[in-house]
Amino acid sequence: MVKGINELLTNANKFVDELAKPFVGREEEAKAIALAIISGEHIVLIGEPGCVTGDTIIASEDGRLFYIEDIAKNLIPGVYIADFPVFPPGHADQLHIYDVWETIEIRTRHGFILRGTPNHPVMTPQGWKELRGIRPGDKVLVYTRIPSPKHYIEIPLDKEMQKEKNAVKSVKILDERLGEILGVYTSRGMLGKGYIGFKIGVNEGKLRRRIYDLMKELFDVEPAKIMVKNSRISRVIYRSSYLAKLFKLLDHSRGMVRRVSRWILLSPKNVSASFLRGLFEGSAKLSTSRRDKNYSIVLRSKSLELLKGVQILLLRHGILSKINSLEKRSRRYGKTYTYHMLKIDGYENLEKFHREIGFISEEKNEKLMEAIKILNESGRDKKITSGNGYIYDTVREVRRINGWTRVYDFHVEKTHSFFTNGLLSHNTAKSALARRAAELINARFFKYLLTKFTEPDELFGPLDINALKQGRYVRITRNKLPEAEIAFIDEIFNANSAILNMFLTIMNERIVYDGYNEIRVPLWTMIAASNNVPDEPELQALYDRFLYRHFVKPVSEDKWADLIEAAWKIEAGYYEAAEPILNMEDIRNLNKLLFEVNLEPVKEKLIRLYAIFEDQGIHITDRRKGKALKAIAASALLDKRLTAKEEDLFVLKFVAPRDAEEMEQAYAILLDEIKATEKHLKELAEIEANVREAKAYIVKITDFDPRLVDYLRSFESVRERVRKIAEETSDDVVRQRALDVMAEINDVIELIRRKFMI
């Protein structure tokens, strides 16, 4: 049954609202997608990548830890299909790799460090905030507890290692014993051709005995040589090519820069606890001060990378530590060196360290127990971490770094967030809008991520071998692009020459020319996503096929509170598959209505805008100038009209620009040239923001301030401007918005008058 025009237009308007409902701050994206679907055209969503550097430690859902660059395995820049269960619980299905010139590094009060692209979002108490917007004093979410994997790691031994003439007893599993000796090695180890060694103080008998015992148990070896360097340090040497190769395999230091072994990051926490025990025994000291009852464990290292890894490992035990850096000048060499310190303090953290990690030597353990006892009796620092498993840590330092850097990012379904060096990071999921749009119109949906190596079979279906044997060239298109009505293609401009021409015909003619066959397809709208505007000449025809181009921006600060609420509902599974509001027959009928919209009232203004765009350097191809009429008519339909108004010309912001810079330029031109709803709403939003900022200052005034007089005159003038907008507009939304802003202005004026009486 064909719906009436009014019902169709009402449901189309409802479609936009429902599409945007779970996605706070994405109303523009929802409207652009709705316009594309109603007009039967295609849309590309473009947003810059938000990524982190390769030394960032990420966590899987089961608690395994990885340097994100290890997940990439030396892949070149591009987008790759991933299969990675991230923490917090979610699933990454794409890995993005880019080379960027500018990065920003933030360091918190506890010393958690994250370096990423300027637009990389991290969680704050106000919601997601980009690194470029973070300032010293801001707070970011930091985890105080992460899960731990359950299974031991098998060591991938080189077969040649077993053939060494001086081969010793080999190990295949990284267990607690090997973890502990690896911790001591990270602190005191030496590696040479055919040998490993340990530097041990002459007074460290317990540590020396433990090394002897572990090496005997694990490898059935005795020290080959003990060299006393001076009266304080001795070197214990084990000669074995096997051991040298094994420890080189297990150690992931970069030159003189120590790092936590990748194998320890993958191991369960009882193994990483043993590693930490050996490391802290060799490099940490227990700092005590009975006078002010200040007790802490301090681990010093020249390698910040090592301490960052240790800080993350401690989170498996719910231990929150701090990292500080200091400079020390060497009188002997006349140089300044940077040293780093990891500090564990507070009753709760020290008690967990003693209970789950501890030291090798009894003396250090006894001192630690004494410190814990004193803190317990004093009641000081009994609780410093959050029972929720996270805290909001204060940002202490922000650095902007220039220089080419490789960065990495996951696309994570549902949660769109993942663990990065202790902080919670986020990415933008453009595909969720596309999928929901298909659900709301009950359309057949196809989604795919393009890489430079994507084959046509992956998109259009494999060849039917049985048909090929009979001399027929037939594709099996089930659940592939040729059967889709709505398609989402991620990283569209990765299209290679093998599929580029197929895309052009399927988008323009709804036909796939495949071999000797001409396949007509039901594709209605292709929704694509990319992190960049293509520069390659061979991609320009494809880019031109997208009538709508929308440049995705971060959610504005005034919507962060709503964003947090919506994000929680999404993660809790509140939003399931959308109930259809329209169907494809309704969409086709709406599309027919486009050509019944009266465009005469706006044609003269449209031609003037084309001339202004051209004069300002924004070139619109003749093809796009004609198709823009469909966008204007679709805008009228979404406003339940069959006659276009000047305000419908605002859809040119989706049609005219080629890149983000032209988008801003085009939008400014439209605001200047069109007296419409959007222009008034933008002005009212700016006025409201200024009013709230001024109010925050006025509230703090405790004595009479002469500037209050100027404020009063200014607000009275602004109130008249808002009143004029409310009286002149014919739009109910603008009128109500103006009345709301005027009420806020009246509140501030009343506040100022009360201040006069102070």
Mean pLDDT of the chain: 84
- Cα gap 269→275, rounded to integer Å: 9
Q: Of 461, 498, 464, nearest to 480 (Cα)?
A: 461
Q: Is the pLDDT of residue 326 over 80?
A: yes
The mean pLDDT of 581-608, rounded to a whole number, is 93
**Residue 58 DSSP SS3:** strand
- Cα gap 679→606, rounded to integer Å: 17
DSSP characters for 285-314? Answer: EEE--TTTT--EEEEEES-HHHHHHHHHHH
More confident residue, 563 or 679: 679
| Mean pLDDT comparison of 161-175, 365-379, 462-476, highest-scoring range | 365-379
Provide CB contacts within 8 A for 598, sequence distance 6+: 642, 643, 644
Furthest C-alpha separation in the chain: 98
Q: Which fold is adopted by the domain 153-378?
A: Endonuclease I-creI (3.10.28)
Task: Tell me how far CA of residue 396 lies from CA of 110, 140, 226, in angstroms.
Answer: 9, 11, 46
| Tens-place pLDDT, residues 294-318 | 789 999 988 899 999 999 999 999 9
| Tens-place pLDDT, residues 601-635 | 999 999 999 999 999 999 999 989 999 999 999 99
| Tens-place pLDDT, residues 515-546 | 667 888 999 999 998 877 888 888 999 999 99
| Tens-place pLDDT, residues 491-516 | 888 888 888 888 998 998 998 876 66
- Residue 145: Cβ-neighbour burial (10 angstroms; 0-12, 13-18, 19+): middle
Q: Of 414, 226, 393, nearest to 323 (Cα)?
A: 393
Looking at 351-355, 493-497, 640-644, which range is the least confident one?
493-497
Q: Of 435, 445, 483, 444, nearest to 461 (Cα)?
A: 483
More confident residue, 436 or 109: 109
Q: Of 330, 309, 326, 193, nearest to 254 (Cα)?
A: 309
- Residue 589: Cβ-neighbour burial (10 angstroms; 0-12, 13-18, 19+): middle
- Residue 154: Cβ-neighbour burial (10 angstroms; 0-12, 13-18, 19+): exposed
> What is the reported pLDDT for 53?
93
More confident residue, 491 or 135: 135
| Mean pLDDT comparison of 39-48, 107-116, 250-259, 462-471, highest-scoring range | 107-116
The CATH number of domain 1-47+430-594 is 3.40.50.300: yes
| Tens-place pLDDT, residues 214-267 | 999 999 998 887 777 666 788 889 998 888 888 988 887 766 678 899 999 999
> What is the reported pLDDT for 147?
92
The structure tokens listed for 532 are 């960049």
The structure tokens listed for 380 are 């000081």
Looking at 388-397, 477-486, 594-603, 724-733, which range is the least confident one?
724-733
Residues in the chain: 758
> What is the reported pLDDT for 265?
95
pLDDT interval class at 1 (50, 70, 90) = very low
Three-state DSSP string of 99-154: EEEEEEEEEECCCCEEEECCCCEEEECCEEEEHHHCCCCCEEEEECCCCCCCCCEE
Q: Is the pLDDT of residue 191 over 80?
A: yes
> What is the reported pLDDT for 387?
61
Percentage of the chain lying above the pLDDT 90 cut? 40
Quote the pTM value: 0.65
Q: Of 6, 12, 161, nearest to 587 (Cα)?
A: 12
Whether residue 462 has a cis bond before it, omega within 30° of 0: no
The mean pLDDT of 194-203, rounded to a whole number, is 89
Q: Is the pLDDT of residue 200 over 70?
A: yes
The mean pLDDT of 428-445, rounded to a whole number, is 81
| Contact between 136 and 145 (Cβ < 8 Å) | no
Q: State which CATH number among 3.40.50.880, 2.60.40.1180, 2.170.16.10, 1.10.287.810 fits the domain covering 52-144+390-426.
A: 2.170.16.10
